[in-house]
Amino acid sequence: MRTTRVTVAALLAAAALTLTACGGEPAKTGGVTQISGGQSTTKAATLLDRPFNKPDLVLTDTTGKQWNLREQTKGKPTLIYFGYTSCPDVCPLTMSNIAVAKKALPKADQDNLQVVFVTTDPERDTPESLGAWLKSQDPSFIGLTGNFATIQAAARTLGIGIEAATTGADGKVVSMHGAQVIAFSPKTDEGYVLYGEGTTVDDYTKDLPKLIKGENP
């Protein structure tokens, strides 16, 4: 089957961004464009003609220590997702799908794979609460929190738009954010594959063995 390739320019130069409101309807805002999964051998992966550089991002991990994204994922297969723990649907489902697929990998590959969850709601997602939430998904998942503007700027370099979380009249927290998962190659440390929110456990299970090696899915 034909593989769809998307350029970084196509992601960054578009005028409208489709953001996902967890528990709500998609909304439009200015910025970059969220691209759903393209066609590939799995129908889920979108390969980028010009891969993303890994963000130069230093945040706080779930133990309260500083965590340097570039340094601590260098040379390792890495999946990055921006979301928040109060999300009732998209975020936990995405993390759960990755966690289940990861368990199908050989132990050495499981240990090598870095799954990084960056909160879009740092005001509420403290290191402690973020750690507890991720532990229920997979204790090895890395949770990062910190300054919202820093997180937002890093997300935009990956073609992902996010907005500051708000609390509705019903008391529920809503954070508008792009729902892409970006896969970074252990060979180049560049983000070369994008997954949309419709990606299934089977999709990740099929692709992870290749992503671990820095190969195209």
Average pLDDT over residues 152-159: 96
Cα(111)–Cα(155) distance, integer angstroms = 25
Task: Give the mean pLDDT of 136-164.
Answer: 96
Residues 167-193 have pLDDT tens digits of 888 888 888 889 999 999 999 999 999
Quick check: 28 pLDDT over 70?
Answer: no
- Residue, of 130 and 40, whose pLDDT is higher: 130
pLDDT of residue 171: 81
Instruction: Convert the pLDDT of each residue in 58-95 to its tens digit.
Output: 999 999 999 999 999 999 999 999 999 988 889 999 99
Please state the rounded mean pLDDT for residues 12-16.
35
Percent over 70 (pLDDT), the chain: 81
Instruction: Give me the helices (H) in the chain, please.
Output: 8-12, 69-72, 90-102, 107-112, 127-135, 148-156, 201-213
Locate tokens 């199908």: which residue? 104
